[in-house]
Amino acid sequence: MSCVDGVRIGRVLRALRRRRGLRQSDIAALAGISQTGVSLIERGHWDAIALRTIARVFAAVDARVVVDVSWRGGELDRLLDERHAALVGLVAARLRRLGWVVAGEVTYSEFGERGSIDILAVHPPTRAALVVEVKTELVSLEATARRLDEKVRLARRILVRERFGIGPRLVGRLLVRPEISLARRQVSRLEDAIAVHYPRRGVEVGRWLRAPRGEMAGLLFLSLNNGRAARRTSGGSQRIRTAPRRQTVREARVLVARDVPDSHLPAPGLLSDGNDER
């Protein structure tokens, strides 16, 4: 995995270790490896070390190592998850019925900001725009909210005009989750934080979609049944068949799942020489 920044990973480990006041030998004892192994990781020479060993080392400093495979800025679970494809198809169909013009899987790369938007839509009568993020799994609410902020900002400034040829008067954001007990429990546990980022729910979201007025940030649960997507209504369910997208994975990267600003990391010249016990 040549695209992995081994030097940065080493700097992150060193910064976290020093923050906890630990020596390399302390980390080695906690992770069950030699002090030399810890030193190699901190100096960026981790290629010969097993990933599970690196994970134990970072666990010793209360951090996680996440292997994330991506394609054109999109997440692998998006490309492989049939539930994700089904939910995207359902949302797109509902928006079209309500008079929205819909574009799916809109990719962007602007000044170092890269990614993709599940659904970008405009409502021509009101010149409202909508950014839809579909999440079958919510690993980090903060990361999801931060990325959605980025997408809304770019949609307002560039993407809507580029894709649809109009400047939006307002931009709404919508987080869509599957109607399953696990997703409900996650929202229940994070209710206070979710209410800050996505205060509108269910009926309120529906009203805004029919007649957009003012900015909107909402959360919507949609159900999936037997490989088909359906929205629960009092009059029954409308089912829409969807097919998963077929795409190719092109790159892989390893991330440390704990944000450490570059300003907090030691300079590369201060990395361990293999005998650091401070």
Determine the pLDDT at residue 172: 96
pLDDT digits (tens, 9 = 90+) for 144-184: 898 999 999 999 999 999 999 989 999 999 999 999 888 89
Tokens matching residue 83: 């539930």
Domain range annotation of the chain: 6-68+251-270, 73-240
- Check pLDDT > 80 for residue 185: yes
Count how many residues are written for the chain.
Answer: 278
Q: Which residues pair with 176 in a beta bridge?
A: 134, 220
Range with the poorest average pLDDT among 71-80, 129-138, 195-204, 268-277: 268-277
148 and 173 Cβ atoms separated by less than 8 Å: yes
Determine the pLDDT at residue 41: 92
Helix (H) or strand (E) holding 19: helix 6-19
Is residue 258 very low, low, confident or very high in pLDDT (cuts 50, 70, 90)?
A: very low
Whether the model clears a pTM of 0.85, i.e. scores above it, the answer is no
DSSP 266: P
The stretch 68-81 carries a mean pLDDT of 58
- Check pLDDT > 60 for residue 77: no
The percent of residues in the chain predicted with pLDDT above 70, rounded, is 74
Determine the pLDDT at residue 70: 61
Determine the pLDDT at residue 197: 93
Determine the pLDDT at residue 215: 92
The percent of residues in the chain predicted with pLDDT above 90, rounded, is 47
The answer for residues whose C-beta is within 8 angstroms of residue 35's C-beta and 6 or more apart is 24, 25, 28, 277
Please indicate whether residue 86 or residue 270 has the higher confidence score (pLDDT).
86
Residue with tokens 């007649």: 211
38 and 26 Cβ atoms separated by less than 8 Å: no
pLDDT digits (tens, 9 = 90+) for 6-33: 788 889 999 999 999 999 999 999 999 9
- Check pLDDT > 80 for residue 278: no
Of the candidates 116, 126, 208, the residue with the CA atom closest to the CA atom of residue 163 = 116
- Check pLDDT > 80 for residue 240: no
Determine the pLDDT at residue 66: 77
pLDDT digits (tens, 9 = 90+) for 198-233: 999 989 999 999 999 999 999 999 987 744 444 443
Answer CATH for 6-68+251-270 from 3.30.420.10, 2.60.260.20, 1.10.260.40, 1.10.287.130: 1.10.260.40
73-98: string of b/e by CB count within 10 Å (b at 16+)?
A: ebbeebbebebbbbbbbbbbbbbeee
- Check pLDDT > 90 for residue 117: yes
Tell me if domain 6-68+251-270 and domain 73-240 are identical in fold. no
Is residue 265 very low, low, confident or very high in pLDDT (cuts 50, 70, 90)?
A: low
Please indicate whether residue 263 or residue 105 has the higher confidence score (pLDDT).
105
Range with the poorest average pLDDT among 16-20, 54-58, 265-269: 265-269
- Check pLDDT > 70 for residue 99: yes
- Check pLDDT > 60 for residue 276: no
Please state which CATH class domain 73-240 belongs to. Answer: alpha beta
Helix axes 51-59, 6-19, angle to 10 degrees: 30
